[in-house]
Amino acid sequence: MANEKYDLMNDIMSFGIHRLWKKYYSELLEKFHKPSENILDVASGTGDIFFLLNRKKNLFALDPISEMHLKSKDKNQKKNINYKIGYAEKMPYKKNFFQIISCTYGVRNFQNKLKSFKEINRCLKKDGYFLFMEFGNPNKKIFSSSFNFYLENFLPFLGSLIAKDRRSYQYLADSIQKFPNEKSIIKLAKSANLYHEKTIHFLSGANSIYIFKKL
């Protein structure tokens, strides 16, 4: 999906709403992050979150795809970001290094979520926070049936039309539908000693922000 249509496709498929959610999310992140401490964006993609974050240093970005970092470097020229290629399952950082670890629309891509959450716990300082935002299945039936129709029909169609890549967008739709519910995510995080503080739902859970703390 690392092509020039990536950002455009995100705008079209979310009708631009993902920008509002990312703005809300980055403002929330600023409330948690102490500027003198290190913050990591896992699955950082094209660098939207650091672009929105009102911080210039102590920024770390991890993503397995080097083209994503290139796009982020282009977008974030005024920021001092330490980029690394790598996976959430095996993070190239020492323990207790970050006050905040953040992830937007990346957790559903983790091949092994428990392993990744344990890595996040290892790299977080005590009293540090793990915040992530992810699409999911809406709780309310009225939302859920239209959302599923959108995922199963409209999204792969858009993918083939605009990005000429139906398969990736079919995968995206499948991974959203398979994303664990809130209860399972909280349980999984607890197994990695990350304790649930709060979940903020948008559109009845079609998009949610999870906040966990390392005690």
Ligand X SMILES: C[S@@+](CC[C@H](N)C(=O)[O-])C[C@H]1O[C@@H](n2cnc3c(N)ncnc32)[C@H](O)[C@@H]1O
Residues near ligand X (CB under 6 A): 42-45, 48, 63-65, 68, 87-89, 104-106, 109-111
Q: Which residues have C-beta within 8 Å of that of residue 209, sequence separation ≥ 6? A: 25, 28, 131, 132, 133, 199, 200
SS3 17: helix
With respect to ligand X, which residue has the nearer C-beta, 36 or 131?
Answer: 131
Instruction: Report the nearest approach of ligand X to the CB of residue 91 (Å).
Output: 9
Nearer to ligand X, 28 or 65 (CB): 65
Q: By C-alpha distance, which of 169, 176, 194, 118 is closest to 12?
A: 169
Task: Report the residue number, 18 or 214, with the smaller CB distance to ligand X.
Answer: 18
Task: Quote the least distance from Cβ 142 to ligand X, whole Å.
Answer: 26
Nearest approach in angstroms of CB 141 to ligand X is: 27
- Which residue type occupies 79? K
Regarding beta strands 195-202 and 207-213, do their DSSP bridges make them parallel or antiparallel, or are they unpaired?
Answer: antiparallel
- In whole angstroms, the minimum distance from the beta carbon of 106 to ligand X comes to 4
Query: Which is nearer to ligand X, 140 or 147 (by Cβ)?
Result: 147
Position of minimal CB gap to ligand X: 45
Write phi, then psi, for 62 (nearest 5 degrees). -125, 130
